[in-house]
Amino acid sequence: MNKLTITLLFIAILVSAPSQASNRLYADNTLEASDGFTWDWSFGAGYYIDKHYLQGVDYQDGLELNINIAINYDKFYFDVDNSQLSGGLTVGYNLVDKYDWSLDLFAINAHEGFDQTGTYYNNDLVFELQGIRERESDFNAGFRLTRKQKTHQVSFELLQDISGAHKSLWASGFISTIQDYRNWEFRVGSGLNIYSSEFTGYYFGVDASEAIENARPIYDPSVAYSVTFEFHSEYPINENWVFLGGWLSSWYSKEISDSPLISNSITHRAKVGIRYVF
Domains assigned to the chain? 3-277 (2.40.230)
Q: Is 177 helix (H, G, I), strand (E, B) or coil?
A: strand
pLDDT for the residue numbered 260: 97
pLDDT for the residue numbered 23: 60
201 within 8 A of 236, measured Cβ to Cβ: no
Alpha carbon of 7 to those of 31, 62, 92: distances in Å?
21, 27, 20
pLDDT classification of 10: cutoffs 50, 70, 90 = very low
What is the rounded CA–CA span in Å between residue 172 and residue 170?
A: 7
Average pLDDT over residues 60-77: 88
State the Cα angle at 25 between 82 and 11, rounded to 5°.
25
Q: Is 143 helix (H, G, I), strand (E, B) or coil?
A: strand
Average pLDDT over residues 94-106: 92
150 within 8 A of 178, measured Cβ to Cβ: no
64 within 8 A of 83, measured Cβ to Cβ: no
- Asked whether the predicted pLDDT for residue 258 surpasses 90, the reply is yes
Q: Which of 72-81, 209-218, 266-275 has the lowest mean pLDDT?
A: 72-81
Kindly tell me the sign of the dihedral angle through the C-alpha atoms of 34, 37, 42, 47.
positive
Please provide the size of the chain in residues. 278
pLDDT classification of 239: cutoffs 50, 70, 90 = very high
CB atoms within 10 A of CB 40: 14
Kindly tell me the sign of the dihedral angle through the C-alpha atoms of 114, 119, 123, 125.
negative
Helix (H) or strand (E) holding 43: strand 37-51
Average pLDDT over residues 78-85: 86
**Percent of all residues in the chain with a pLDDT value above 70, rounded to a whole number:** 87
Which residues lie closer than 8 Å to 10 by C-beta, 6 or more apart?
none
pLDDT per position as a tens digit, 20-58: 334 666 645 444 555 678 888 899 999 999 999 999 998
What is the rounded CA–CA span in Å between residue 79 and residue 71?
A: 6
pLDDT classification of 88: cutoffs 50, 70, 90 = confident
Average pLDDT over residues 237-252: 96
Which residues lie closer than 8 Å to 123 by C-beta, 6 or more apart?
117
pLDDT per position as a tens digit, 159-172: 999 999 999 999 99
